[in-house]
Structure 1
């Protein structure tokens, strides 16, 4: 029922981090978010996370800025 913010500090390897989490917890719905995404895509991922369409948001520290 809960959700998790997983902070990963490198955009270059964020997809690998998300893939590793998918291997460990295959039933989790996982999305990624980072500052190199388009504003529209980033906003949609965050909205979907708030609407509980994802269980885990793998993100850079951009979540600290109040997205």
Structure 2
């Protein structure tokens, strides 16, 4: 997803177009996130909890740790 920006591609505007399209599709409900767990706040306790979820081998989707 971020290869263009990481490699300073000449067509960096395509990154913007892609992210804008994805945002539009999410807003329209045509695609949805794969995040299934949301932990908060961003601290050591939540990092440990997230690790346990992922290491359990039973996680489905993505585990997100939010700052708020």
TM-score between both structures, scaled by the size of structure 1: 0.32
Q: Which has the higher contact order (CA 8 A, sep 6+)?
A: 1
Larger radius of gyration: 2
Q: TM-score, normalised by structure 2?
A: 0.32
Q: Greater share of strand residues, 1 or 2? A: 1
